[in-house]
Amino acid sequence: MKKILAAACALFIAFGIAGCKEEKEHEHEWNAGEVTREATYTHTGEKTFSCLTCGRTRTEKIAALAFSADVTVNAGESISAAVKAAEDGDFILVKAGTYREQLVIEDKNVSVIGEGTVVVAGPENYASMKNVEKPAGEQQNYTAIGLIVGADALIENVSFTGDPDKANVSFLTGENAYCGVAAIDSSLTLNYVKIKEIAYPERPSGIQNGRGLFAAAEEEEKTLTVRYSEITGFNKTGAVVRGGVSELLFVGNTVQGAGEQPRNCQNGMQVECDRAEIAENTFKNLVYSKEDEWKHASWGLLIYAKGDKGVVVSANTFDNVDNGVYIVSNGSTDLRENEYKNLYEDGYAHYETPKEEATA
């Protein structure tokens, strides 16, 4: 019996050593890799490699992008003043602090980079904010805590945080549309930006105003890129991108509504441009509960693109929303591998207007 046990143990040990040796000697044949998170000026990126033999993956960090500050803004100073004085191509480094001003970037090509926690909170008197009169065929004037006009700008690691009490002024609920960030006839990149509390006291019912992010352009070849950012606390819509914007890249962001509420139908994002990539975002907490004809009519994403350039909506998560994706206009929208969970019981994961209705 002892001989049998000894032989079995020897066989087990030999097999185990051979198995470990075989696994140890396996040389992975890695592919060229894919950038799964872009490096920015304040954050490292990530590149993922897959073994062509066994499928195993590994990741490598990508170093943050290097830059040299041409201008430094300290707490208590004005970012807008620094932008106005800057030369095209300048990098403006903003030190940690709360800046009680409207950040205006007009007719400049600049990069504004926050160091630490940087908050742009709007001026003491919101009625003093600069606005743009009916841009790109809009029916309203537009103002924003961050107003970018005729510019080519990058903003990174900055929070635009509204004050609902200060926003309770008549021109923000009447002739002016109120936004956290508005890009008018501009190309804009936002990386690691937070847009918060673009709302009114107690968010009164029915106000179709208060947008986190807005972009419109009269001329083509204006682009909007938003990556790894957060839009929360908006009154009506998280982001609106008009058709005059030639290209949209919206990747890795979170758009979060107020949750179940009876004030208005909140929508996560409204896209009208014909070329867009909307990928790996989370749209959540968009639920309208009032007992009226619009009950449970909130949407995570509304697509109005009519052209054939292509809108790709991929790998997004729609969580705790009345409905997921509504393709309002019949362009060339491509839905891929999106996740829909905790939808309203009769809600749509995605819905497309019938072609006969869209062309009527």
For 83-92, the pLDDT digits (tens) are: 999 999 999 9
pLDDT surpasses 90 at 225: yes
Residue 116: inside a domain: yes
What whole-number distance in Å separates Cα of residue 79 and Cα of residue 97?
Answer: 11
- 7 within a domain of the structure (yes/no): no
pLDDT computed for residue 173 by the predictor: 83
Together in a domain, 45 and 78: no
Query: Do 227 and 354 sit in the same domain of this protein?
Result: yes
- Extract the tokens encoding 33: 């890799």
10, 42, 66 — which closes off a domain? 66
In terms of domains, do 289 and 317 share one? yes
Q: Does 145 lie in the same domain as 43?
A: no
Q: Are residues 203 and 87 in the same domain?
A: yes
Residue 272 has pLDDT above 80, yes or no: yes
What gap in Å lies between CA 65 and CA 156, rounded to an integer?
12
- Rounded to the nearest integer, the mean pLDDT of the chain is 90
- Residues 192, 59 share a domain: no
Cross-strand bridge partners of residue 277? 249, 312
- What is the structure's pLDDT at 329? 84
Question: Confidence class of residue 355 from pLDDT cuts 50, 70 and 90?
Answer: low
Determine the pLDDT at residue 360.
43
Look at residue 115 and tell me whether its pLDDT is greater than 60. yes
Cα separation, 2 vs 354, in Å, equals 79
Band (218; pLDDT cuts 50, 70, 90): very high
State whether 149 and 43 are in the same domain: no
Report phi then psi at 170, rounded to 5: -60, -35
Structural contact between residues 100 and 121, judged by C-beta atoms closer than 8 angstroms: yes
Report the number of distinct structural domains present in the chain.
2
The answer to whether the beta carbons of residues 289 and 295 sit under 8 Å apart is yes
Per-residue pLDDT band for 277 (boundaries 50, 70, 90) equals: very high
60 and 186 assigned to the same domain: no
Domain boundary among 40, 66, 92: 66
Range of the domain at 38: 29-66
Q: Does 161 reside within a domain?
A: yes
Look up the CATH number of the domain holding residue 294. 2.160.20
Question: Does residue 172 sit within a domain?
Answer: yes
Q: End of a domain among 66, 89, 115? A: 66
Q: Looking at the structure, tell me whether residues 60 and 90 fall in a common domain.
A: no
Query: Is 318 found in the same domain as 188?
Result: yes
List all residues 6 or more positions away from 314 whose beta carbon is below 8 Å from its beta carbon: 277, 278, 279, 280, 334, 335, 336, 337, 338
171 shares a domain with 39 = no
* Whole-number pLDDT of residue 356: 56
**Gap between the Cα atoms of 168 and 134, Å rounded:** 21
What share of the chain in percent tops pLDDT 70? 91
The verdict on 286 and 330 lying in the same domain is yes
pLDDT at residue 359 greater than cutoff 50: no
21 assigned to some structural domain: no
- Is residue 208 in some structural domain? yes
> What tens digit of pLDDT does each residue of 192-213 get?
999 999 999 877 778 889 999 9
What pLDDT score was predicted for residue 357?
55
